[in-house]
Amino acid sequence: MRVLVVIFEQLIPISGGGTPRIRSIIDVLIKKEHQVSVAASFDSNTTETLQILKCNRVVPLKKISRLDRNKMVKYLFFHPLNIFKVFREAIKFKPDLIIAHNSIAGLAAILAKKFVHSLVVIDMTDLIFEYLSSYNELSWIPNLQTIGEKIENKVIRDSDKIITISKAMKKILLNKGAENNQVDVVYDGVRLDIFSPREKESINLKHKYSNQAQNIIMHHGVIDPQDQPEIIVDAAKKVINKHPNTMFWLIGHGAAIINIKEKVKRNGLESNFFFSGWIPYEEVPSFISACDVGIVILPNIRSARIRVTLKGFEYWACEKPIVVSDLPALREIVEPWKTGLFYKPSDPKDLAEKICILLNDKLLASRMGEAGRKLVKKEYGWNKLATEFVNICEHML
């Protein structure tokens, strides 16, 4: 079949977010010898991109960095252009199927469907318009969130199939007007060929960045305000009070990082924090391997209750125990006291207590990391999950 895959994120190199998921789906489509056109942002020219992806066609979209502090404003200006490019490619390529990641790319697919009569599958991993209230720079546009949610709801109703990441997310989609047989669940996962324990590299990183700390607590990924990551600083004060020789590594970047750095400075914790900035995707496993505990920070809001987040799987793949927010989607994949510990969302005291449990009981932490590695190898490898995703698409046709 002819398939147009659309994601409004940087696909080469992989930039996190939905890109590992979409890249794995593209790999399986090509392995099954489907004709594939890919519309995304690329940090490479067309010839290089075609060689890397091994697809039939590529459509370069306007690149907007997920780490840009003004990214939401730029999305408003550049996404209409990207939607037009996707529409034009659909008219030329005439795909049997369009796979679109999240609702804005989904809008482009729904518009194209009216002219080329393709089936549309929305890879729904987030409710992106629910984040708008976290970005003060958009306050000058009245009713933007309401308008965005109406667009998102229309995309949900008009798609032929929605594949989402949790049962909790499926319930939300049904409440937004999707039919039960319209929605399938394929969880997020991890690239097991990239993420695995890296002892040698971790030793070098500890020597370079740990300030001779005995314990390293790590958060990695995009650090944005909607996730309320400032709780890490409040929890760190309590952890350091009990375990003074502890560092917190924040691996990644995002719009919230400046406020976190200021809070760290106000609390006199500069020597206990390391901020890496953005690092290449392929280097993340080395940093994870250097840590003792991985944390997943999410508040108790609807857009967070439906997410499972890639970082949890990536910690597990590197045999690290995790402490995560006690939210419905994460409850679907984390078994308490076996593969991770839950903390009460937005409660820094409880977060600190759960971290300290793992620092005090190294045997428990080791067993959790081993159990997590076994779990992702069995259930959450991207090749297995992407194949499941593509099988659903093939069945539609």
Q: pLDDT tens-digit profile of 35-70?
A: 999 999 999 999 999 999 999 999 999 877 665 566
Model's pTM, two decimal places?
A: 0.91
Confidence of residue 226 (pLDDT cuts 50, 70, 90): confident
202: Cβ–Cβ under 8 A, 6 or more apart, which residues? 286, 287, 289, 290
Q: In this predicted structure, what is the pLDDT of residue 129?
A: 65
Q: Is 211 or 340 the better-scoring residue by pLDDT?
A: 340
Q: Which CATH number goes with the domain that contains 242?
A: 3.40.50.2000
* Count of the separate structural domains present in the chain: 2
CA-based torsion, 349, 351, 355, 357: positive or negative: positive
Structure tokens at 256: 């919230």
99 falls within a domain = yes
For residues 129 and 46, membership in a common domain is answered with yes
> What is the rounded average pLDDT of the residues 217-242?
94
Strand partners, 322: 294, 340
| 91/215 Cα distance (integer angstroms) | 56
Residue range(s) defining the domain that contains residue 76: 2-189+381-396
For residues 41 and 67, membership in a common domain is answered with yes
DSSP designation for 349: H
| 351/353 Cα distance (integer angstroms) | 5
For residues 123 and 236, membership in a common domain is answered with no
Question: Tens of pLDDT along 114-167?
Answer: 899 999 999 999 887 665 555 555 554 556 667 778 888 999 999 999 999 999
For residues 238 and 109, membership in a common domain is answered with no
Question: Token match 């609807």: residue?
Answer: 302
280 falls within a domain = yes
Q: In this predicted structure, what is the pLDDT of residue 67?
A: 59
For residues 339 and 391, membership in a common domain is answered with no
> What is the rounded average pLDDT of the residues 195-224?
94
For residues 126 and 203, membership in a common domain is answered with no
Q: Are 384 and 376 in contact (CB under 8 A)?
A: no
Question: Could you tell me which of 65, 80, 78 has the C-alpha nearest to residue 13?
Answer: 65
For residues 222 and 177, membership in a common domain is answered with no
Distance of CA 13 to CAs 27, 282, 372, Å?
15, 10, 27
Kindly tell me if the per-residue pLDDT of 357 is higher than 60.
yes
Q: In this predicted structure, what is the pLDDT of residue 287?
A: 97
Kindly tell me if the per-residue pLDDT of 110 is higher than 60.
yes
For residues 274 and 388, membership in a common domain is answered with no
For residues 172 and 29, membership in a common domain is answered with yes
| 340/322 Cα distance (integer angstroms) | 5
For residues 299 and 166, membership in a common domain is answered with no
| 313/170 Cα distance (integer angstroms) | 20
286 falls within a domain = yes
For residues 13 and 45, membership in a common domain is answered with yes
For residues 266 and 370, membership in a common domain is answered with yes
194 falls within a domain = no
Q: Is 128 or 174 the better-scoring residue by pLDDT?
A: 174
